Structure 1
Amino acid sequence: MKPSHIEHLGIAVKSLDTAIPFWEKLLGTKCYNIEEVPAQKVRTAFLKIGQTKIELLESTAEDGPIAKFIEKKGEGIQHVAFAVEGLENTLAECEAEGIQLIDKAPRGGAEGLSIAFLHPKSTGSVLVELCEDKNGGCKCGK
């Protein structure tokens, strides 16, 4: 696996309405995109600093993965995402190396990215997301 960069850091929050102003002020930048990903029971908000994005994650359901994360661990960093080329091949390489996959195949994520997660049991307790952008970039107006 050869990631090109950290695509984003995912931060679980109880409320985007509360979190967005805090992060905008802290980072000195504006949120450029808010969207809902119904399949993942989450609303996301994105800010960009340098080449890296901060993804704020608010659960849209009590049984969603972000709600469960917050219930168990509180608000905070939920995952780190790496940009890769050839996500399907990267997943096959990871599996061949004995890394447990949450997603055996890519699925759709926020901002039109193809995503897949590696299980924290295989990554030192860190939830790792792999992302591939087949659409030519984020909506952040680089």
Structure 2
Amino acid sequence: MKPMRMHHVGIILPTMEAAHKFLETFDLEIDYQGYVEAYHADLIFTKYTENNDSPVELIIPKEGVLKEFNGGKGGIAHIAFEVDDVEAVRKEFESKGMEMLEESAVPGTSDIIVNFLRPKYGQGILVEYVQTVGPIKR
């Protein structure tokens, strides 16, 4: 797997109100919003900064395991790296005996597909791999 750049940091927040307060507190602008069916969550991505720093992804779960993250209080959920081929990443990790969260990549928001390396293989950190594929038809 070749070196990757940081794509974003994912933060779970319990409500949309909390997400907007976070944006306001840190003077962050919304780039785009969406809903990810696979994880039952609304998402807000912030705009890149002038320095082209990676954006923040705010995750507002509607139900499921993400809703209970950190006792329902939310927090930093994952870091995400951009890759050319998320399926190749999955195959590489599986060849080393490591498991991904999904059997194959799932649609994210807008124009990406994603998969996650389980935290037990990332020293306790959930790591997401993101591939840009163009607008996803839902």
TM-score band by shorter chain is 0.7 to 0.9
Is the 8 Å Cα contact of residues 9 and 78 (structure 2) preserved in structure 1? yes
Provide, for residues 40-81 of structure 1, a one-character-per-residue CA deviation record: whole Å limited to 9, x for no partner: 1101111133241211011112xx131121326x32100111
Alignment match, 2:112: 113
Alignment match, 2:58: 56
Is the 8 Å Cα contact of residues 19 and 60 (structure 2) preserved in structure 1? no
Shift of residue 3, structure 1, vs aligned partner:
4.3
* 1:21 and 2:21 matched: yes
The equivalences for 1:96-135 within 5 A come to 96-135=95-134
TM-score normalised per structure 2? 0.84
The equivalences for 1:80-99 within 5 A come to 80-99=79-98
Is the 8 Å Cα contact of residues 81 and 131 (structure 1) preserved in structure 2? yes
Segments of 4+ moved more than 3 angstroms: none
Alignment match, 2:67: 67
Is the 8 Å Cα contact of residues 13 and 70 (structure 1) preserved in structure 2? no
Alignment match, 1:140: none
CA distance in 1, matches of 2:3, 2:104: 18
CA distance in 2, matches of 1:24, 1:98: 43
Flag structure 2 segments of 5+ consecutive residues without an equivalent: none
The percentage of aligned residue pairs carrying the same residue is 27
Flag structure 1 segments of 5+ consecutive residues without an equivalent: 137-142
CA distance in 2, matches of 1:6, 1:65: 25
CA distance in 1, matches of 2:56, 2:23: 9
Aligned-residue RMSD, C-alpha? 1.9
